[in-house]
Structure 1
C-alpha cells in the first residue's frame, strides 16, 4: 500500500506551513522522498526542504500538514511558485498530487498550488505557480531565472506529449464519432461511484425478479400496469398515455423535445388535405392554419430505410400538430412512412380510437430510436467523448480552459466505455429492447453525425430559431425551450467571466498555441486524426480570432455535458418504463392499412415480460443521478480569485434559476424539472 507524504519534525523554529493533499485516485499515494523549494514574490528562495514519509495505510485523498523552516534569514514573503521533485524510495513511487497550500507564519499570507497531476519519481523538478493557471506563452513565473523558465515550458510540453500517448482517437463505430482508443486509467470510475452504481442495479433487479416467473407475456393492459406499483413505481404516463393532449405534451417536454418544428407549408410527401383534417382545426382551413403559424411538424425522415436488426422495418413517420384556440398542441395527422401511397395511409383522430392509438404508438416507437441514438447517445455521450480526448491532448492542466472544462468531463469516458460494452453491444440491452438494435443505432448515429453542426445544434437559441420555435408568441407552452435558454444563459455568463479575464487582449488569443491546436483538432476530419466537428466558431485558417468565439465554444461544450444530457436522460424511466407510452420496441412492422384493433391486438405489439422488465430496470438505472448538481463541483480546479469569484456567482445565479423553474412549474400543466439546476449534474456520468 502506498503511503502519503507525512510531517517532518524540525529542531529549529518553523516559519512556513505546507499542506499537501493527495488526489483521490487508485494508487495515488507515494513512499518516495519529497523535496520542495519555495519562491516568493520578492525573488527570495528557500532551501530545499525535505518532507519525510511516514508509513500509514489510507492515503487516497489524504491531507498532510508540514511545519518547516525555510532557511531564509529575513523570512519569506508571499510564495508565488513551488519547485518540487520526487526521489524513489519504498514500494510506491509515483504520486498523484491534488494540491499544495503554503502559509507564511509571520504574515499569514497563503497561496494555493493546484497540481492535479501524476508526478514521476525520477528526480526531475516540477514547477507549479500560484493557482497554476496561465496561458502557455505567458508564464507568470517572471522572477525565475531563464533556465527555470525553459524547464517549466519543457515540463508543459512533456505533459502534453504524454497525454497524447494516453488519449488517442479511434472511431469504434464505423463512420461514427471520434472516441478514445483505450480508456486511460485516470478516467475510470472511482471505487465509491462504481460500487454505488453496481448496488443500485442489483437492488433494481431484486425488486423485479419475482415478476417474471408466472408467465412469459402479459395477459392484458391491467396485468401490465399491476407490475409497476409492486416494483419500481408507476410512471406518470400510465394515467394519460392514450390522450392526444399527452401526445402533444411529449413533444415539448418529453424525453426528446427537440424534434418539433413550426410548419408553414406541408412537405410534398405528406398526404394531408383539408378533407383529411376535417373538424380538427377549429374553424380554420389548413391554409389558414399554416399562415397563422398554428401548425407544427415532427418529420423523422432521417429514419427512412434505416438498416435495423433482423431486417425489421422501422417507421419513418411524419406527425402534424395543431395549436388550438387554447394554445394547446394536439396531434392531427400521422403518416408512418415517407412516401405517399395506398399502403401508407394518414391516420387522424377521426379514425377509430384504437386505430389512432396504434398510429401514435408506432410514431413514438420511431422517435424513441431517434432519441436514444442521436439526442441522447450520439449528440451528448459520444460527441463529447471526442471533445474530452481533444482537450486532454491539447490543453495543459495549467491552461484556464482545461480547468474550466474539466469538472464537466468527470466519468464521461468511463460511462461511455461501460455503456457501449454492456448496453450497446451485440445481444445487449439495445439489441433486446429497441427495434433498431445495435445495427440500427450505429447506422443512425452515422447519419445524424453527418447533419450535426456545432453552431446550430449545439446552442439552444440557434437550434430553436432554426426550428421556428424560439418565439413564445408562436409556441407559448414549451417548457424545454424556456428552461434550456435560462440555463444556457447562466453557463454563458460564467464562462464569459473567466475567459474574458484570461484573454483581455487580442494578442493573448492569437498567440495561445494550445488554444489554437485545440480548435484545429476539434475541426480536423476524423479520418485525419481529429474530432471532425462542423461549425465550430473561428476562422478555418487563423483559428479563434475573437474572444466571443472561445466563449461560445466552451459554453456549448459545458451546456451539452450538463443541460443537453439532462434533458435527454433523466426522465427515461418516466417515458420508457410503461412500454405502450413510448415503446422502444414493437413486435410487428408498421401497418400498411387502417384496421380495427382490440386490446389483444395491442398486447401483441408489446414485448414479452422479460424484455419489459429489462426496459424498466435499465431506464430506472439511467434515470438516477450519479454526480453533484451543476456548479457544485466534485473537484475544484479554479483557485485564482477571478475563477473562484466566477464559480461563486455561478452557483448563486443557478440557485436563482432554480427558483424561477420552481415558480414556472406552479403554472405548468405538467411539472418539468429536468432542467432545474438543482437536478442537472455537472457531467455525463450515467
Structure 2
C-alpha cells in the first residue's frame, strides 16, 4: 500500500495476559459525527498477534471525506488465542495532509472484552458530567469495583486491595530485571545475616566481610558509624528524617539536668539553650507498649529520648540519650552522655535500633506503601480511567499493589524476614503501624510543609542544615505546580467540582470508616471537595508520598543498615541499665543483621506508561519536567557545599512510584 489515507498505531500494554491473536476492529468518527467504514486490523491471515509491550502499525486506505477525528470505536474479534486484550493506546496519523501531521491520540488503558465495543474520545480525558458516553463510563466503574475491593489484612492498619487485579501484576520484564536480582541479593544477605549473629574480634573484622567475595560494596555507614556528628546527621538526612523536633520543653520523664549537660552546651545552661531554640528532641516513647511476640526473651526494644544541641557552627551534636521513657520502675532513667565511652556507643546503637523500627514500620511500610495502596484502591473504585485526576495519579501507582502483595506474603509472614531480622518482629511492626494510623493525618503528617511545621522546623534560621526539608520542599513545590496546572485546567469554578460525582465519591470513600472506606484522617474537605485548593493539596500529597517520601526513606537503606553498628535492625541482649564500663568486645556481641534494597522505576516525571495526551495535562507535564530539572540543578549545587551529600530527594533519583 503506497499511499495510505491513514496510519493506525496500536500499543498493547506490558501486562500479564495483555496479548491477543484475534483481529481488532476500529471505526473513525469525525467532529461532525460522520463515520468511516469498519476497519479490520490483523497482522496475518490467522489473527492479530498483538503482543504485550508491542506497537503494531497499520496503513489503511479507502477512508476519505472525514473532518478532524473526534472518536474511535474499537472492539476485538471473538475467535483466536488470548482472551481479553489490554490496549494501552491507539494513535492515528492522517496521511492526506501535507507536511508532518501530528498524531491524534486515543488512550485506552483498558481491557477489551468479547462482544464489547468501546467508544473512546480524542485524548480520553474529561470530567464525568461532560463525558460523551456516560453509560459506558458508569459500567466501567461498576466492573472495576468488583476487582478493587478494600481489605484490611491486619487489625488497625491501612486497607489494601483484597485480591491483586491482573493489570496490577508485575510484567515479565520487571520480574526478570529487578525482582530476580533483588531475590538474589536477599539470598546473599540471608547468608551474611547468619554470620553477623556470631562474635566479632573487632569492628574491622566486620568490614573485612565486604571484601571476601560477598558481592556488596562497603556501606557508607562503615566510615562514620561512631561519629557523634553523623549520629546527628541521621536525624536530618538519614532513613527516618521525620522524627526530630524543636524542643520547647524538656519532657518530664527525661531526667536531664543543667549540671549534667553543662560541658556540652558551650556555656549555656540547658534552660537557656532551650529558650534560644538550640535544643532538639527525638521522642520515641511511643514504643513502650510494642509487643515483642515471637522475639526471644533476651531481646529488648527500647523507647528512648535523644537530645541534640545546635552549636556555634550551626552543626547538630547529640548531648544525651535516655533509653527508657516510661515511669515503670523496671526501666531506669539513666542518661547516657558523649563522655561515657563504649557504653555511649552502645546507647546510640540501641537508640538507632528503636528508630529503625519506627522507620521500617510506620515511616516506610505504613505511610508510603500501605497508605498509598489504600488511596489507589479508592481511585480505581471511583474515578474512571477517563478522569483527568485518574490520568494524573495513575503513573504513581505502578507495581505498588504487586510489591505490597509480595511483602505481605513474604516479609510479613509469621517467622518470615521481619520476624527473624527486626527486633520488633512482625507483631511489633504491625502494632507500630496501627498505633500511628490512629493519629496520622493526610493534611499534617502527609503534607510536607505542614509536617515540618508541626515539628517546628520550618524556619531555616532555627535549623539551617536540614537537607530533607530543604530539598523536599523544592520537589514539593514542583509537584504542587504540576497538580495545580491539571486541576485548574479542568475545574474552572466550584460548580465543576460540585458536579463531578466521581470526584465526590472518591472524597467520600477516602474518609469513610472501613470496610466502606479507607478511614484516612485529615483529607482536605473531609469527604467533600469544594475548592481547587483542596484537590491540589490532596493530590500533591498523594504524588509526593508515592515518589519523594518513599525515595527519602527507602533508597538510603543499604548505606545505613548495611554496616550493623551504624543503624541496626536487630540487637542481641538487653540495653544498658547503667554506665558500667564495657569493652568493644561486649559491644560487638550485640550486633544485628543486614537488609538490602535497590531502585526500580524511572525518575520522577519520566513515566513508564503514558496516561496523559490532553493539552492541559501535556502542558502541565512539560512544565513539571522543566521545574524538576531546575530543582535537580539546585540540589546538585547544594551538595557541593554539604559535609555529606544528600541525593535521595534529587528529582533524577526519585522514582515515580513505590515499586520495590
TM-score normalised by the chain length of structure 1: 0.91
| 8 Å contact kept, 1:347–1:356 | no
Q: How many residues are matched?
A: 648
1:101 is aligned to 2:91: yes
- The offset of 1:57, in angstroms, is 5.8
- The offset of 1:591, in angstroms, is 2.4
| Matching residue of 2:51 | 59
| Matching residue of 1:516 | 504
| Matching residue of 2:15 | 25
1:601 is aligned to 2:586: yes
Change in Cα spacing, 1:195 to 1:52, as seen in structure 2 (3 Å) is: closer
Which of 423, 434, 440 pairs up with 1:446? 434
1:334 is aligned to 2:326: no
Change in Cα spacing, 1:211 to 1:81, as seen in structure 2 (3 Å) is: closer
1:281 is aligned to 2:265: yes
Report the Cα distance in structure 2 between the residues aligned to 1:109 and 1:273, rounded to whole angstroms. Answer: 73
| Matching residue of 2:205 | 223
Report the Cα distance in structure 2 between the residues aligned to 1:354 and 1:345, rounded to whole angstroms. Answer: 18
- The offset of 1:205, in angstroms, is 6.0
1:413 is aligned to 2:401: yes
Q: Alignment partner of 1:277: what SS?
A: helix
| Matching residue of 2:658 | 684
Structure 1 stretches of 5 or more lacking a match?
Answer: 1-8, 142-151
| Matching residue of 2:462 | 474
1:429 is aligned to 2:417: yes
Which of 75, 91, 101 pairs up with 1:85? 75
| 8 Å contact kept, 1:76–1:104 | no
Report the Cα distance in structure 2 between the residues aligned to 1:667 and 1:40, rounded to whole angstroms. Answer: 58
Report the Cα distance in structure 2 between the residues aligned to 1:268 and 1:215, rounded to whole angstroms. Answer: 38
Which of 139, 146, 158 pairs up with 1:158? 139
Q: Alignment partner of 1:456: what SS?
A: coil
Report the Cα distance in structure 1 between the residues aligned to 2:83 and 2:358, rounded to whole angstroms. Answer: 49
1:656 is aligned to 2:630: yes
Change in Cα spacing, 1:507 to 1:208, as seen in structure 2 (3 Å) is: closer
Report the Cα distance in structure 2 between the residues aligned to 1:458 and 1:216, rounded to whole angstroms. Answer: 37
- The offset of 1:229, in angstroms, is 3.2
| 8 Å contact kept, 2:343–2:576 | no
- The offset of 1:256, in angstroms, is 0.4
Q: Alignment partner of 2:10: what SS?
A: strand
Structure 2 stretches of 5 or more lacking a match?
Answer: none
TM-score normalised by the chain length of structure 2: 0.94
Report the Cα distance in structure 1 between the residues aligned to 2:530 and 2:341, rounded to whole angstroms. Answer: 58
Change in Cα spacing, 1:583 to 1:216, as seen in structure 2 (3 Å) is: closer
| Matching residue of 2:165 | 184
Map of 1:60-75 to 2, 5 A cutoff?
Answer: 60-69=52-61, 71-72=63-64, 75=65
1:133 is aligned to 2:133: no
- The offset of 1:210, in angstroms, is 8.1
Which whole-Å deviations, capped at 9, do the CAs of 1:6-60 have from their partners, x for residues lacking one? xxx79xx742322222222223232333322211113322122233452476722
| 8 Å contact kept, 2:15–2:170 | no
| 8 Å contact kept, 1:347–1:359 | no
Which whole-Å deviations, capped at 9, do the CAs of 1:297-322 have from their partners, x for residues lacking one? 00012111211133653111011111
Which of 193, 204, 223 pairs up with 1:239? 223
Q: Alignment partner of 2:109: what SS?
A: strand
- Shifted more, 419-428 versus 177-186: the winner is 419-428
1:120 is aligned to 2:100: no
Change in Cα spacing, 1:93 to 1:216, as seen in structure 2 (3 Å) is: closer
1:398 is aligned to 2:386: yes
| Matching residue of 1:148 | none
Which of 472, 479, 493 pairs up with 1:484? 472
Map of 1:374-393 to 2, 5 A cutoff?
Answer: 374-393=362-381
Which whole-Å deviations, capped at 9, do the CAs of 1:376-421 have from their partners, x for residues lacking one? 0011001111011111111101000000000000000011111121
Which of 316, 319, 323 pairs up with 2:303? 316
1:626 is aligned to 2:597: no
Which whole-Å deviations, capped at 9, do the CAs of 1:190-229 have from their partners, x for residues lacking one? 1111122343235536767887898961322221121123
Change in Cα spacing, 1:465 to 1:278, as seen in structure 2 (3 Å) is: same
Change in Cα spacing, 1:459 to 1:66, as seen in structure 2 (3 Å) is: same
Which whole-Å deviations, capped at 9, do the CAs of 1:99-121 have from their partners, x for residues lacking one? 11122232246411000100012
| Matching residue of 1:145 | none
Change in Cα spacing, 1:287 to 1:154, as seen in structure 2 (3 Å) is: same
Change in Cα spacing, 1:252 to 1:212, as seen in structure 2 (3 Å) is: closer
| Matching residue of 1:6 | none
Q: Alignment partner of 2:134: what SS?
A: helix
Whose relative contact order is higher, 1 or 2, with alpha carbons under 8 Å and at least 6 apart? 2
| 8 Å contact kept, 2:158–2:374 | yes
Change in Cα spacing, 1:501 to 1:474, as seen in structure 2 (3 Å) is: same
- Shifted more, 589-598 versus 361-370: the winner is 589-598
- The offset of 1:370, in angstroms, is 0.5
Q: Alignment partner of 1:660: what SS?
A: helix
Aligned-residue CA RMSD in angstroms?
2.0
Which whole-Å deviations, capped at 9, do the CAs of 1:80-117 have from their partners, x for residues lacking one? 11112223012224211111112223224641100010
